[in-house]
Amino acid sequence: MRRPITASAGVSSERGVHVLDADGVCRNRAHLTILLRGSLRQSISGRAFDINAEVAATLDFAECAMNARVISAQGAAGLVGVAIGSVDESGTAFIRWVAVAPSVRQCGIGGQLVDVFETASCARRVRGWVNHDDPVALGFWLRRGWQPLGAPPHLVMMGRELLPRPGA
């Protein structure tokens, strides 16, 4: 059952969705690695791809990039989801990765991670790449109001404009 989550930049939710800093990423690196590998294996559809290199690059980015934003979801068994991305100087947030453990998919966790990422980013717009041959991922983003913006081989750039925040 989906429970609403609200958070702002740097504020943790009481319901298990948190904004992580670089130290939090470092402490959770082993769990993040397992979660990201599992998510990537499902989404690449047999294409030649170095899973370990992509996971390592994403975690290095999450720990080191000045503009990185990492949102985690904790469940009874520990880490169950993560959204990793960044915000550039133009006010565009880019979600690099959303991963949810298979045992808790279809429970609203991915949507909550994206909601908190969008709120915490304080961005004007949000973008991300989606595998064009992954109907589950495409459906997830379309239901959230994202629209296709371009179509390079194997990927679709998707995004949406965010509503101005009061006082912004």
pLDDT per residue over 61-115, tens digit each? Answer: 777 777 788 888 887 777 788 888 888 888 899 998 888 888 788 888 889 899 8
**Dihedral (CA of 31, 33, 36, 42) sign:** negative
Top pLDDT among 167 and 125 is at 125
| 159, 147 contact by CB (below 8 A) | yes
pTM of the model: 0.73
The predicted pLDDT at position 18 comes to 66
Q: 155-161 and 147-150: which strand pairing? A: antiparallel
CB under 8 Å to 37, separation ≥6 — which residues? 51, 52, 55
pLDDT per residue over 7-52, tens digit each? Answer: 333 333 445 666 666 677 777 777 777 777 776 655 555 555 566 7
Query: Which superfamily, per CATH, for 17-124?
Result: Gcn5-related N-acetyltransferase (GNAT) (3.40.630.30)
**Dihedral (CA of 37, 43, 45, 49) sign:** negative
The predicted pLDDT at position 143 comes to 92
Domain locations in the chain as residue ranges? 17-124
> 53 pLDDT exceeds 50?
yes
pLDDT band at 123 (very low <50, low <70, confident <90, very high): confident
Other beta carbons within 10 Å of 105: 16
> 132 pLDDT exceeds 50?
yes
| 81, 35 contact by CB (below 8 A) | yes
Beta bridge partners of 66: none
